[in-house]
């Protein structure tokens, strides 16, 4: 399967990062979102990140310009039907993802590969709602996409080998490393990471330690670059809660029960960095713990 043009659904934090690395690797990219403001913001982030790479001598200015020229945008989802590979990177809600694929399928070429950047949702179930479950798989990038080296490749029960091999070749062309995961809730990275973050929230909830002491303990005691609560804010507390719910519902084990404090923060709209408040308050010059 010769992949030359890639469609990316969603111009948010993950989507613009995926568009960035695909364009740098030489793919033509068609970036889609539901409103022009999101597309403009996504393109602005891509250009800003590439400018930073140029200023740090990690990219040549002419390579930046060439990569940016390979990215076009559209508000019309069916336009992505003319691409060879589609990477869906919309919000982590299954109903939203299903609706996107259902709208897209009638416009696809027979050989177009469909993938989802979902961090936890069943690939088999998403694939079953399309006309090509054998050409559907999970393509899970880590955040921030231009920096992180890992991509999880998740095969659904019907995914065929040519589809897997084609996606593996894309990962290698991106200069990243692939890890293959079976299609079980939250795959590998989040199956391990999210319960750790959830346990950190329980540690806060039960008064064992403050936000500062928990994050400092994990940074200095286990050499993590970010504390778990700081990381949760970076990921988005709504995303963390969604993944914990997928684990809890999918595996029916009480050890995956989301901490009530995590639920409370999400209900308050304190979702982390993207809303200005989470376990830290980001509205001032320096982040300040909220508990």
Positions annotated as catalytic residues are: 119, 140, 152, 190
Is 14 annotated in some ligand binding site? yes
Is 67 annotated in some ligand binding site? no
Is 143 annotated in some ligand binding site? yes
Is 33 annotated in some ligand binding site? yes
C-alpha 39/C-alpha 16 separation (Å) is 9
Burial class (CB in 10 A: 0-12, 13-18, 19+), 214: buried
Is 12 annotated in some ligand binding site? yes
Place of tokens 């692939």: 178
CB 123 within 8 A of CB 155: yes
Which residues have C-beta within 8 Å of that of residue 45, sequence separation ≥ 6? Answer: 16
Q: How many CB atoms lie within 10 A of CB 283?
A: 10
Burial class (CB in 10 A: 0-12, 13-18, 19+), 131: middle
Which residues have C-beta within 8 Å of that of residue 236, sequence separation ≥ 6? Answer: 271, 272, 273, 274
Place of tokens 């889609």: 32
Is 232 annotated in some ligand binding site? no
Is 11 annotated in some ligand binding site? yes
Q: Is the peptide bond before 144 cis (omega within 30 degrees of 0)?
A: yes
Q: Which residues are annotated as a binding site?
A: 10-15, 33, 92, 97, 119, 143, 274
Q: Which residues are annotated as a binding site for NAD(+)?
A: 10-15, 33, 92, 97, 119, 143, 274
């Amino acid at each position: 399967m010769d992949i030359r043009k890639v469609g990316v659904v969603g111009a948010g934090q993950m989507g613009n990062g995926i568009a960035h690395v695909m364009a740098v690797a030489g793919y033509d990219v068609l970036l889609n979102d539901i409103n022009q403001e999101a597309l403009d913001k996504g393109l602005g982030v891509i250009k800003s990140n590439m400018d930073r790479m140029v200023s740090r001598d990690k990219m040549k200015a002419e390579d930046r310009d060439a990569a940016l020229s390979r990215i076009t945008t559209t508000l019309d989802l069916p336009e992505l039907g003319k691409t060879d590979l589609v990477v869906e990177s919309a919000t982590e809600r299954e109903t939203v993802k299903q609706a996107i694929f259902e709208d897209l399928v009638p416009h696809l070429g027979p050989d177009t590969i469909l993938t989802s950047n979902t961090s936890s949702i069943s690939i088999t179930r998403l694939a079953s709602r399309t006309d090509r479950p054998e050409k559907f798989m999970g393509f899970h990038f880590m955040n921030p996409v231009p920096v992180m080296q890992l991509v999880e490749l998740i095969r659904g029960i019907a995914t065929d080998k040519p589809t897997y091999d084609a996606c593996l070749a894309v990962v290698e062309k991106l200069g990243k490393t692939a890890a293959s995961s079976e299609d079980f809730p939250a795959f590998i990275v989040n199956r391990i990471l999210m319960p750790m973050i959830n346990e950190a929230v329980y540690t806060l909830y039960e008064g064992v330690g403050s936000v500062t002491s928990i994050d400092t303990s994990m940074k200095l005691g286990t050499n993590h670059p970010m504390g778990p609560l700081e990381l949760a804010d970076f990921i988005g507390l709504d995303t963390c809660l969604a993944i914990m719910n997928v684990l809890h519902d999918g595996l029916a084990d009480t050890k995956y029960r989301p901490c009530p404090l995590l639920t409370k923060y999400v209900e308050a709209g304190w979702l982390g960095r993207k809303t200005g408040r989470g376990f830290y308050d980001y509205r001032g010059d320096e982040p300040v713990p909220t508990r």
